[in-house]
């Protein structure tokens, strides 16, 4: 695999600066843009492997930028948000973003997210083979067989559907709303308690320590994701 | 009636009645034919039974009259102390209403319902005290004799020859929840009397001895039995009505009773009330104010109004009507109110007016479709001991004055006519005399017109008809002239007088309406309560010539006199005003409550609630007895009340607007602040980290410094977050994002977030299996847990043991974070939750101490609690609670 290319869309000069430093230190190709329009153009021309997008852009709403990008590209998008409220992040994730970081964040954290996103592009090819594995957990989507450390685990149909949706989007942050829609259908998106109950059941069946989950991670106030390991 | 479905209005009324009844206390009456049948004894026995069953019974007042059996029964019952009231130098022990309300037992015994309280008590009658007790939700047992029932009072008087003044309205008896007849045969009663077991008041021994004759006792017993039977009958009817068996309450057969100026109206009213209750229909009592009545002395008018009031007390709807012809007005009223039976008194004194039809006949001719019921009108006072009826006052002097004036005018006309006689025909001279009659009618009214008519015919005959200066008439033709002249004069006089009267009535009505209209117009534009007070003062004072004050409540519903109020009406009693406000009932002058007061307190009742009290000091006692005036005052009061309410809601709307606006502003400031502070912090953290990892590699010291800058930046960031969260929570109305959440998940999320700090600590989570979902804002509760965990890390040495536990209690979940560190300084368990307080003062341990304050604000917002405690084995425990709700159920069924 060649050196991955990253487009950074961020209006703050200093932020752009240290992002470039940190990313280049890991030998990524970095192209940056200081506005939404310029960023979208760069994303179109540079064919990046990842787009890092700040939600507080001067010329357009970050959520709109994600929507526009998603019209023609499946490139993983990591959003940066300076607001503590969850609503904006959820909106961006629902619009198609893959992951998010709340400012301020450490470079280590960012690089970890980038690695997850890159791996996700690879694992989506892996999904074709029908098997998703995270450490000891193996999800065979073809045979509908779940094993933890080689031992088969029996899931109810809904538990299985929930896990399969998570597996389909391994590494991506899936919002509560998205999961409810995928598993229970568009009429049940307000019944968040379904998700809480089944998620708890699922963790108790899969995780050794449900309070410290390794496979299905909680994104507080936003949703869940299946870990990539 | 063909329609057997229940009337919807009646059903609604029934539902409302049920609701009211459910809140009110229950009234049980022990009913007897006469004194000595053992009512008090029966009541006390019943109380003992209830007490034995564990009910908290209190004797409010019980007259034992020294009877041994009864006294014995008082043993073991709690007796409420009586209140001593000073009256005319004597101290009288009365029932203590306030004490009873304060004691608030579930059941209270009140003997002798008909008792009249000492003047100056809150209510003039004991039954009104009982009413207030019932309204407060206290059950009451009471006693009453048949002769004390208002409608039976005069019948009993007729039988026994003794009338009691202490009466109780029948509605109290009829609305009682239970009536128990305490019955004793006359023979037994007489035996008890002979044995001295019955108490007789000293002063009236003779009369009462007369009372206890066997014949009387039989009659009284029959009355009591029959009244009880009527009640049972009513209950049966109500039962049928509630289950819609047979016919429902008839609204169209209602009764109209006409109150006239003659004495004895009360008897007619009592009869009407009885008939109405037997038929189970509503009834109206009206009086018609005709021109003739205008000339009645004041005492007569007052008596009529008293009669109307009496009718109202007995449950009638009353009205005062004005018109020319009593019959017509009555029939019109009856038709417009769907009343098909008219009750009138039978005139006895008109028998010599053989040419004149009786009033009932005249009514009957006008309304062939209505039933006219005549009631024999025996004057009270014949054969019955009673107060003598109010004497007619002599006709006022002003009549004599107007007669004198009329006579003078007639004389003047005669003089002028004498001067004109040489030039004019006699036929024209007659016209002058007719003119004089018209003049007298306009100026002095109907009686003067009659006088003028006769006087003028006489004068004309004497002075002008030949032979002049004699009453002899030479030409018979003049007899016709006299006759026609007299008739024309009388008719013109009557018509003119009536016209003048009607103009006056119309004028009065117009003045009243105009005042109402103008006040409504003025009030429609006001924006401040003070303006309302000023306008109301102006209109009420000029319209009624009385002193008024408006009292408005403060935020605690306590009435505050407006500035001017005390100056205008100095005698305002804040207690009565407050009572009226709280109960939304009129009090004071001319009402049932504290009527000894010289001031009338009217609650300003608006659609949503009572808005204040209007205090009025009337000029004389007769004021407000006139229904028209009362109605106008009610109109004013309603206007003031609705205006006060309107102004109140303007305030509410404005406040809400300001609140929304300031909320919006605060949110935008906070969010801008959050963005502006985070951006430089992000850069600082990112740049220092880039510096640390820059190439070529930094020497170790420089590397450490760069990492330290990054760490301090993150600390700074969490501080900023705390400050912003605090600002948001302190603003009061935080919108919680309440969802049904899993506690396990939020604890897991908090642990993950503190992973770095907790590296060197042992953390145990003890959660019961199957912990229910709780409703909370997950980000806020996560923040509480993070704060508590960070706190534990801050104040305990590395490798300490931290335990997170959760328990279910009856209606809440209890979550605790416990450490085995040094614990909290004794006495500061509470103060650490205050802003900027830390466990150890001036220590080097980082943190502004805002963390716990935020935890408390979050717990409060969730209607939970948070507190800290030291545990016996050493260490601190922070506990917070969340209310347990009923989590929604899963609609999707699933089997393994």
What is the predicted ipTM?
0.90
> Is A212 near chain B, with CB under 8 Å?
yes
Q: Cβ B679–A12 below 8 Å, yes or no? A: yes
CATH 1.10.10.10 residue ranges in chain A?
A: 130-226
Q: Does domain B734-883 have CATH number 3.30.565.10?
A: yes
> Is A87 near chain B, with CB under 8 Å?
no
Select the residue of B739, B753, B782 nearest A192 (Cβ to Cβ).
Answer: B739
- Which residues 164-193 on chain A approach chain B with CB closer than 8 angstroms? 184, 191-193
Class of domain B8-242: alpha beta
Select the residue of B681, B721, B748 nearest A211 (Cβ to Cβ).
Answer: B748
> Is A130 near chain B, with CB under 8 Å?
no
Omega of the bond leading into B780 within 30 degrees of 0 (cis) = no
For residue B422, what is the DSSP state? T
> Is A21 near chain B, with CB under 8 Å?
yes
Distance from CA of B674 to the nearest CA of A (A): 7
* A169-193: pLDDT as tens digits: 888 899 999 999 989 888 888 888 8
Cα separation of B65 and B878, whole Å? 68
What is the average per-residue pLDDT within A108-128?
76
In angstroms, the first-to-last Cα distance of chain B is 66
Give which of B860, B804, B780, B717 is closest to A221, Cα–Cα. B780
Q: Cβ A211–B713 below 8 Å, yes or no? A: no
Q: Cβ B748–A193 below 8 Å, yes or no? A: no
Predicted local distance difference test score (pLDDT) of residue B277: 77
Element (H, E) at B689: helix B627-692
Half-sphere exposure of B138 (CA within 13 A, CB side): 27
| Closest residue in A to B774 (Cα–Cα) | A193
Element (H, E) at B224: helix B214-242
Contacting residues of A for B721, CB less than 8 Å apart: 84
CA distance to B201, B722, B815, B830, per residue, from B864 (Å): 67, 20, 11, 16
Place of tokens 């036929």: B427
Predicted local distance difference test score (pLDDT) of residue B393: 34
Answer yes or no: are the C-beta atoms of B723 and B850 closer than 8 Å.
yes
Half-sphere exposure of B473 (CA within 13 A, CB side): 14
Predicted local distance difference test score (pLDDT) of residue B266: 77
Beta strand spans in B498-546 (E): none
Q: Cβ B686–A18 below 8 Å, yes or no? A: yes
Cα separation of B281 and B275, whole Å? 9
Lookup: tokens for B355: 């040419």
Predicted local distance difference test score (pLDDT) of residue B385: 32
Q: Cβ A212–B748 below 8 Å, yes or no? A: yes
For residue A78, what is the DSSP state? E
Q: Cβ B773–A197 below 8 Å, yes or no? A: yes
pLDDT < 50 positions in chain B: 1-4, 203-204, 245-250, 350-353, 379-397, 838-848, 895-896
Q: Cβ A193–B773 below 8 Å, yes or no? A: yes
CATH number of A5-118: 3.40.50.2300
| Closest residue in B to A110 (Cα–Cα) | B686
Predicted local distance difference test score (pLDDT) of residue B391: 31
Distance from CA of A153 to the nearest CA of B (A): 12
For residue A172, what is the DSSP state? S
- Which residues 657-696 on chain B approach chain A with CB closer than 8 angstroms? 671, 674-675, 678-687, 689-690, 693-695
> Is B64 near chain A, with CB under 8 Å?
no
Cα separation of B813 and B880, whole Å? 8
| Closest residue in A to B755 (Cα–Cα) | A212
Select the residue of A105, A157, A221 nearest B894 (Cβ to Cβ).
Answer: A157
> Is B710 near chain A, with CB under 8 Å?
yes
Cα separation of A206 and B734, whole Å? 37
For residue B560, what is the DSSP state? E
Contacting residues of A for B713, CB less than 8 Å apart: 104
> Is B837 near chain A, with CB under 8 Å?
no
**Do the two domains B8-242 and B254-376 of this chain adopt the same fold?**
yes
Distance from CA of A17 to the nearest CA of B (A): 8
> What is the dihedral sign for C-alpha B836, B837, B841, B843?
negative
Predicted local distance difference test score (pLDDT) of residue B564: 57
* B817-868: pLDDT as tens digits: 999 888 888 777 777 877 655 444 444 444 446 788 888 888 988 889 999 8
Q: Cβ B717–A15 below 8 Å, yes or no? A: no
Helix (H, G, I), strand (E, B) or coil at B374: strand
Distance from CA of B858 to the nearest CA of A (A): 16
Q: Does domain A130-226 have CATH number 1.10.10.10?
A: yes
CATH 3.40.50.2300 residue ranges in chain A?
A: 5-118
- Residue A226, phi-psi category: left (phi > 0), alpha (psi -120 to 50), beta (remainder): beta
Give which of B826, B824, B814, B829 is closest to B879, Cα–Cα. B814
Predicted local distance difference test score (pLDDT) of residue B33: 86
Distance from CA of B668 to the nearest CA of A (A): 12
Helix (H, G, I), strand (E, B) or coil at B127: helix
> Is A74 near chain B, with CB under 8 Å?
no
- Which residues 38-57 on chain A approach chain B with CB closer than 8 angstroms? 56
Q: Which CATH number fits domain B254-376: 3.40.50.300, 3.40.50.620, 2.60.40.1120, 3.30.450.40?
A: 3.40.50.620
Q: Cβ B695–A25 below 8 Å, yes or no? A: yes
Give which of B505, B162, B113, B565 is closest to B323, Cα–Cα. B505
Lookup: tokens for B381: 């006072």
> Is B768 near chain A, with CB under 8 Å?
no
Lookup: tokens for B20: 């009211």
Predicted local distance difference test score (pLDDT) of residue B847: 47
> Is B779 near chain A, with CB under 8 Å?
yes
| Closest residue in B to A219 (Cα–Cα) | B749
Distance from CA of A165 to the nearest CA of B (A): 18
> Is B397 near chain A, with CB under 8 Å?
no
Biggest CA-to-CA distance, chain A: 53
Q: Cβ B753–A103 below 8 Å, yes or no? A: no
In angstroms, the first-to-last Cα distance of chain A is 19
Predicted local distance difference test score (pLDDT) of residue A43: 87
Q: 3-state SS of B786-853?
A: HHHHHHHHHHCCCCCEEEEEEEECCCEEEEEEEECCCCCCCCCCCHHHCCCCCCCCCCCCCCCCHHHH
Give which of A203, A216, A110, A220 is closest to A165, Cα–Cα. A216
Biggest CA-to-CA distance, chain B: 158
Contacting residues of B for A106, CB less than 8 Å apart: 685-686, 689, 710, 714
Answer yes or no: are the C-beta atoms of B611 and B579 closer than 8 Å.
no
In chain B, where the domains are located: 8-242, 254-376, 397-502, 734-883
Lookup: tokens for B473: 């008439």
Residue partners of B521: CB distance under 8 A and separation at least 6: none
Select the residue of A14, A157, A192 nearest B740 (Cβ to Cβ).
Answer: A192
């Amino acid at each position: 695999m060649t050196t991955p290319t990253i487009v950074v869309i961020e209006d703050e000069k200093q932020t752009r600066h240290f992002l470039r430093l940190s990313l280049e230190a890991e030998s990524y190709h970095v192209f940056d843009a200081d506005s939404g329009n310029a960023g979208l153009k760069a994303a179109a021309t540079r064919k990046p492997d990842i787009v890092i997008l700040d939600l507080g852009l001067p010329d357009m709403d970050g959520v709109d930028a994600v929507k526009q990008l998603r019209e023609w590209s499946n490139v993983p998008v990591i959003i940066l948000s300076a607001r503590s409220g969850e609503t904006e992040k959820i909106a961006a994730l629902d619009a198609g973003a893959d992951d998010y970081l709340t400012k301020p964040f450490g470079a280590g954290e960012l690089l970890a997210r980038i690695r997850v996103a890159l791996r996700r592009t690879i694992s989506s090819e892996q999904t074709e083979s029908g098997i998703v594995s995270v450490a000891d957990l193996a999800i065979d989507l073809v045979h509908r067989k779940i094993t933890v450390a080689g031992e088969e685990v029996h899931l109810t149909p809904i538990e299985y559907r929930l896990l399969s949706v998570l597996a389909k989007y391994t590494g991506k942050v899936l919002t509560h709303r998205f999961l409810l829609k995928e598993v229970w259908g568009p009429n049940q998106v307000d019944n968040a308690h379904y998700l809480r109950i089944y998620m708890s059941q699922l963790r108790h069946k899969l995780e050794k320590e449900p309070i410290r989950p390794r496979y299905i991670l909680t994104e507080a106030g936003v949703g869940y994701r299946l870990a990539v390991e | 009636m063909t329609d057997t479905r229940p009337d919807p209005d009646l059903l609604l009324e029934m539902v409302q009645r049920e609701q009211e009844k459910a809140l009110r206390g229950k009234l049980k009456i022990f009913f007897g034919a006469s004194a000595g049948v053992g009512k008090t004894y029966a009541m006390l026995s019943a109380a003992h039974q209830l007490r034995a069953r564990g009910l908290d019974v209190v004797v409010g007042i019980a007259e034992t009259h020294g009877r041994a059996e009864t006294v014995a029964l008082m043993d073991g019952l709690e007796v409420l102390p009586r209140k001593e009231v000073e009256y005319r130098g004597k101290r009288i022990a009365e029932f203590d209403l306030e004490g009873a309300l304060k004691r608030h037992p579930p059941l209270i015994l009140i003997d002798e319902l008909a008792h009249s309280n000492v003047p100056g008590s809150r209510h003039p009658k004991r039954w009104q005290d009982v009413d207030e007790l019932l309204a407060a939700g206290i059950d009451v047992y009471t006693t009453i004799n048949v002769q004390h029932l208002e409608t039976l009072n005069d019948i009993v008087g007729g039988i026994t020859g003794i009338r009691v003044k202490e009466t109780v309205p029948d509605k109290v008896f009829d609305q009682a929840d239970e009536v128990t007849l305490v019955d004793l045969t006359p023979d037994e009663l007489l035996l008890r009397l002979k044995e001295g077991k019955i108490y007789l008041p000293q002063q009236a021994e003779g009369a009462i001895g007369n009372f206890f004759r066997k014949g009387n006792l039989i009659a009284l017993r029959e009355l009591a039995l029959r009244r009880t039977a009527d009640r049972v009958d009513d209950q049966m009817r109500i039962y049928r009505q509630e289950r819609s068996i047979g016919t429902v309450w008839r609204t169209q057969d209602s009764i109209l009773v006409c109150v006239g100026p003659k004495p004895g109206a009360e008897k007619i009213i009592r009869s009407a009330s009885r008939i109405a209750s037997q038929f189970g229909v509503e009834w109206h009592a009206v009086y018609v104010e005709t021109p003739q009545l205008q000339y009645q002395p004041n005492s007569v008018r007052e008596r009529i109004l008293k009669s109307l009031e009496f009718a109202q007390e007995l449950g009638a709807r009353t009205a005062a009507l004005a018109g020319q012809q009593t019959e017509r007005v009555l029939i019109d009223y009856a038709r417009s109110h769907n009343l098909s039976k008219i009750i009138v008194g039978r005139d006895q004194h008109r028998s010599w007016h053989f040419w004149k039809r009786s009033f009932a006949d005249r009514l009957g001719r006008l309304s062939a479709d209505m039933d006219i019921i005549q009631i024999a009108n025996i004057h009270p006072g014949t054969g019955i001991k009673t107060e003598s009826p109010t004497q007619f006052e002599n006709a006022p002097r002003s009549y004599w004055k107007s007669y004198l004036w009329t006579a003078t005018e007639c004389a003047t006309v005669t003089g002028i006519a004498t001067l004109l006689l040489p030039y004019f025909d006699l036929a024209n001279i007659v016209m002058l005399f007719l003119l004089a009659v018209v003049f007298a009618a306009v100026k002095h009214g109907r009686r003067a017109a009659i006088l003028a008519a006769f006087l003028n015919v006489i004068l004309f005959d004497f002075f002008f008809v030949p032979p002049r200066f004699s009453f002899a008439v030479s030409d018979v033709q003049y007899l016709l002239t006299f006759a026609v002249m007299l008739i024309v004069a009388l008719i013109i006089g009557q018509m003119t007088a009536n016209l003048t009267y009607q103009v006056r009535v119309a004028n009065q009505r117009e003045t009243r309406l105009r005042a109402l209209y103008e006040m409504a117009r003025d009030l429609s534009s006001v924006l401040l309560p003070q303006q309302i007070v000023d306008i109301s003062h102006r209109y009420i004072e000029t319209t009624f010539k009385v002193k008024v004050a408006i009292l408005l409540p403060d935020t605690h519903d306590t009435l505050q006199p407006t500035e001017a109020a005390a100056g205008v009406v100095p005698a305002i009693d804040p207690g009565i005003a407050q009572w009226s406000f709280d109960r939304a009932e009129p009090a004071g002058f001319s009402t049932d409550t504290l009527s000894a007061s010289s001031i009338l307190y009217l609650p300003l009742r608006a659609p949503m609630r009572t808005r204040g009290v209007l205090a009025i000091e009337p000029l004389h006692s007769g004021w407000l007895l006139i229904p028209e005036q009362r109605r106008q005052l009610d109109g004013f009061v309603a206007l003031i009340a609705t205006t006060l309410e309107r102004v109140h809601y303007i305030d509410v709307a404005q406040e809400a607007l300001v609140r929304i606006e300031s909320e919006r502003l605060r949110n935008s400031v906070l969010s801008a602040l959050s963005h502006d502070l985070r951006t430089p912090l992000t850069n600082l953290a990112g740049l220092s980290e880039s510096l640390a990892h820059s190439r070529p590699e930094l020497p170790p010291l420089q590397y450490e410094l760069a990492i330290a800058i990054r760490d301090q930046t993150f600390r700074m960031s969490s501080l900023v977050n705390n400050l912003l969260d605090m600002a948001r929570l302190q603003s009061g109305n935080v919108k919680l994002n309440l969802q049904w959440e899993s506690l396990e998940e939020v604890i897991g999320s908090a642990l993950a977030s503190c992973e770095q700090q907790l590296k060197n600590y042992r953390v145990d989570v003890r959660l019961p299996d199957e912990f229910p979902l709780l409703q909370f804002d997950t980000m806020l509760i996560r923040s509480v847990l993070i704060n508590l965990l960070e706190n534990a890390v801050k104040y305990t040495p590395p490798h300490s043991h931290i335990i997170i536990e959760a328990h279910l209690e009856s209606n809440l979940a209890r979550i605790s974070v416990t450490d085995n560190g040094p614990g909290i300084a004794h006495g500061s368990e509470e103060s650490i939750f205050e802003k900027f307080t830390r466990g150890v003062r001036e220590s080097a341990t980082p943190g502004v101490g805002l963390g716990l304050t935020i935890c408390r604000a979050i717990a409060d917002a969730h209607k939970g609690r948070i507190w800290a405690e030291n545990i016996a084995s050493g260490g601190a425990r922070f506990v917070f609670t969340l209310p347990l709700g009923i989590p929604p159920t899963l609609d999707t069924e699933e089997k393994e």
